Amino acid sequence: MSTPIHSARHSYGDRDAATVAANNYAERLKSEVKTANLELEVERLRQELEALKAQHPPGKIVVPPVKGVDKELWNAPMASLQKMADELSPGARERRTFFAHLCGALACANFNHRKYGVEGRYPRSLAAAAASERVESYAGHNVCAIALDRDGRVADFAFNHNALFGSPVEHAESRLMKQLLAAAGRSLPPPPAPEGDEEPAHPGCAVARYEAGKASVKGYEIHTTLEPSEYAFGALSLGRADDVVYGMRDPTTPDLSAIVYNLSPKAMGVPRPSPSPASDLESDLAEAYADFARSQRNREGAPFFVAPDGTETYTASLSAFLCTDDAFAVFQEHAARFDAYVLAHGDFAPRDGALSNADALRAARDWLRRAALRGRATGAC
C-alpha cells in the first residue's frame, strides 16, 4: 500500500525527470537553431564568394586599387606584373650595355673568393684565388653597384658588406644610397690617378641634391650585378633614383622590383627596374648557379669550403656561388667586353648637356682604371 510519503517521492521524481527532459529538449532546440543559423551564414558567404568570383576571374587580384595606380594592373594576372616594357632607343640600349659591362668589370677587378675569410680552402675558387688582389682580411661576396649621375659619369660605387660587418643590411645598393645621400650638396673628387699619370680627365661629380629639404638622387641610374632584394630596392626607392639596371635575376625573389614598381603610385618615385641588356652573360650566370646549387645539394664534386680542421661545407647559397670560378669567369667576360666595346651610336646623348656615348665610355674607362688600380674610388669598396 502506497503511503503519502511514497506518493510524494514518486511525484517529486516525476517532476525531476520532466525538468531534465525539458532542459534536454531546450538544449536540442538551441543546437538546432544554431545549426540552422550557421547554415544560413555559410550560404550567405558562399553567395558573396560566387559574386566576387564573377567580378574577378581566376588568377586576378581581388584587392581595391591604390590611388595613383592603374586600376587595370590590380586586376591583371601576376605574371604580367613581372614584365617591364623595353622602351629604349638603340643609342640608350648601347649606353646601358657598356655601363652593365662596367659594373661587371668592377666586380672582376675587386673579386673576392673568400666568403668566410682567409682561414681554410675554397676548392671551387682556384682560378679566382690566383687572380684575386683583395686584402687578406676581407670576407664576403661579389655584389656591387655603381651610380651614374645625370650626365653619364660614375658618381660612386659600393659592394655588399653583410659578411664583413656581420649585418644583414649592408647591401651594395643601400650602402651606395647612404654614401650618395650623405654627400648631398657636395662634389666628390675623382678617383686618384695611378702613380705616374697626369691628374684626371675624369671630373668630380655632384652626387646628390636637396629637394623640399630632403636629399635625393633623382635623375640617377643605378647599375648592380644582382637583382636588388626587397630591402635594397626599398633603399633605392627612398633615395628616389630614376632607374635600376640589374644583372643576374635573383632566384630567391625573382622580379620583385618589377612587381613593386608596377603596383606603386608613380608619385612615390619608385625607380624603374630593367634587366641588363647583356642578357647572354646573365643567362650564363644563372645557368652556372643552377648547376652549382644542384651539385652542392647532392654533395657532388668539390665542396664550397674546407675548414682548417678538414670539415667540408656544401652550400647552395647564391652568395657562395658568387665567390666561385664560374661567377668569376662571367665577370671576366664583362671586363673583356667593356675593354673592347665598339660603339655604333657614339654621338647619342640622352639629353642636352649630357655626355655622348663616346665621351661617357671614355670617362668610364678612365674611372675604372683608376678605381681598379687604387682599390677604391671614394671609400665605397
CATH number, domain of 308, equals 3.40.140.10
C-alpha to C-alpha distances, 289 to 14, 104, 238, 336, 338, nearest whole angstrom: 83, 16, 31, 21, 23
pLDDT tens for 223-265 read: 999 999 999 999 999 888 999 999 999 998 889 999 889 888 8
Does 43 share its domain with 126? no
Q: Are strands 243-248 and 272-275 parallel, antiparallel or unpaired?
A: parallel
Does 123 share its domain with 25? no
pLDDT of amino acid 378:
39
Does 203 share its domain with 295? yes
Q: pLDDT at residue 124 above 90?
A: yes
Does 223 share its domain with 306? yes
| Long-range contacts from 247-253, C-beta under 8 angstroms, 24+ separation | 247/100, 247/103, 247/104, 247/275, 247/276, 247/278, 247/281, 247/282, 247/285, 248/282, 248/285, 248/286, 248/289, 249/275, 249/282, 249/286, 250/226, 250/318, 251/286, 251/289, 251/318, 252/318, 253/227, 253/229
Tell whether the torsion through CA atoms of 217, 221, 223 and 224 is positive or negative.
positive
Does 38 share its domain with 132? no
Does 113 share its domain with 44? no
Does 238 share its domain with 91? yes
Q: Which amino acid is at 227?
A: E
- Give the residue with greater pLDDT, 74 vs 365: 365
In a domain, 78, yes or no: no
Does 44 share its domain with 114? no
pLDDT of amino acid 134:
57
Pick from 55, 73, 97: which residue ends a domain?
55
In a domain, 68, yes or no: no
Does 362 share its domain with 300? yes
Q: pLDDT at residue 19 above 90?
A: no
pLDDT of amino acid 6:
47
In a domain, 380, yes or no: no
Does 161 share its domain with 25? no
In a domain, 70, yes or no: no
Counting the structural domains of the chain, the total is 2
Question: To which residue does cell 629639404 refer?
Answer: 213
Does 25 share its domain with 92? no
Question: To which residue does cell 517532476 refer?
Answer: 15
Per-residue pLDDT averaged across 96-102, rounded?
96
In a domain, 138, yes or no: yes
- Beta carbons within 10 angstroms of residue 187's beta carbon: 12
Tell me if 100 sits within 8 A of 278, measured CB to CB: yes
Does 192 share its domain with 255? yes
In a domain, 152, yes or no: yes
Domain encompassing residue 154: 86-374
In a domain, 223, yes or no: yes
Weakest-pLDDT range from 143-147, 186-190, 359-363: 186-190
Going by pLDDT thresholds of 50, 70 and 90, the confidence category of residue 97 is very high
In a domain, 297, yes or no: yes
Weakest-pLDDT range from 124-128, 172-176, 259-263, 297-301: 259-263
In whole angstroms, give the CA distance from residue 299 to residue 291: 12
